[in-house]
Amino acid sequence: MIRVLLALLLLALPVRAEEIVSGVSQSGVSITTNFDGTAILVYGAAIRDRPAPDWPLLQVIITIEGPSAPLVVRKKERVAGIWLNRGAVQIASAPSFYAVATTGDIGDILSPEADAKYHVTIPQTIKAAEGAAGGSAADQGQYVAALQRIRAQSGSYRLAQDSVLLLRQSLFRTDITLPANLVEGVYKVRIFLTRGGNVVDMQESQINVAKAGLERALYNLAMQSPLVYGVLSLLMAMVAGWGASELFKRVRF
């Protein structure tokens, strides 16, 4: 009787027509003294329980999202030759890093409804705080757009359309570069399969980013024993200053 009930339950469960099988080239990134960024390979395939439809074509979107944190975006204006803060908006949450790679134009392969549901594009990942200073919603949108522009210029926010290679409507891969100024934490890797703008499957994995070696030791010392860290920094500065003074005394030009 139990076997019959289990069989009926399995038959009642929805069967996915397409499902993601994927992997990443590395599950962790170590930030060391000479760390200048790294490239992450994301690869996988769409497996099916039936032949793929001829239309609409399968599309792939891959995102990597760094740890989020609140921040304040300020607007500066020049008044009488002096730059002054003339407005600000509190951002409740914004990722420190966000990259989007796609097989095509993001506006063609992802519907606004799916974007709002899964928060795929960069604007969807930034949340302005309710009741934040800065005027109307349109004014707040200008601050959010400014944040996107600034972080895009620094390489923290990236949109790479047509950068995902898709073979035979099944196999896919792409390389996403992580910059040198990474924030420590867990980075989420999400893969979306879409058809006609709708998400047919989604998979998420993680990459752990952490300082290693001397950087990690100094960071832990500064966080756990700030007084000891301050005293040691002062002693190092004094020794460096004394050493430089002695060197110049002995060097004759």
Decide: 25 and 40 in contact? Cβ < 8 Å.
yes
User: pLDDT by residue (tens digit) across 171-203?
Assistant: 999 999 999 989 999 999 999 999 999 999 999
Instruction: Specify the fold of 18-211.
Output: Immunoglobulin-like (2.60.40)
**Structural domain spans, the chain:** 18-211, 213-253
Q: What is the mean pLDDT of residues 138-147?
A: 82
Q: What is the mean pLDDT of residues 98-123?
A: 96
Q: What percent of the chain has pLDDT over 70?
A: 83
User: pLDDT by residue (tens digit) across 54-80?
Assistant: 889 999 999 999 999 999 988 877 777
Say how many C-beta atoms besides its own lie within 10 A of residue 73's C-beta: 22
**Phi and psi, residue 211, nearest 5°:** -70, 150
Decide: 95 and 66 in contact? Cβ < 8 Å.
yes
If you write DSSP's letter for every residue of 194-245 in order, what string do you get?
Answer: EETTEEEEEEEEEEEEEE-THHHHHHHHHHH-HHHHHHHHHHHHHHHHHHHH
Q: What tokens appear for 62 in the block?
A: 């891959």
Q: State yes or no: pLDDT of 3 exceeds 70.
A: no
